[in-house]
Amino acid sequence: MILASETLAPDAGFTAGARTMTLAGSVLEVLESCAYRWFFDRERSRFRRLPRTAALDGFSDAPWRDYSSLEFSNDGNSFVVALDPHGTRLLSATGHGEGCTCTKL
């Protein structure tokens, strides 16, 4: 695994600058929410997520899941993943940044 950029600017929002990694020839976008690290393979419309504090050596144990769309909030600090084309199965997350006051993990 190769991380192209180690960190995002604190509280810059997900869309301000993407952190990416290369895995087996695929470029993955890495987003960090309060509870999880999300790994999106946009080319194949699939993602994985790991608990934010988990070591990346457990990455291969996390299953890939298909998704239909990934939408960011206007301020870029949250996102919604549609798991089906109709948008009836959704996952959402809020970014974890330096100013975050979450109590998770």
> In this model, does residue 25 exceed pLDDT 70?
yes
CA distance 10 to 14: 10
CA distance 1 to 25: 10
> In this model, does residue 57 exceed pLDDT 70?
yes
Location of structure tokens 């909030």: 73
Run of H or E residues at 39:
strand 36-41
At 86, the pLDDT band (50, 70, 90 cuts) reads very high
Domain spans in the chain, listed from the N-terminal domain onward: 2-94
* pTM for this predicted structure: 0.75
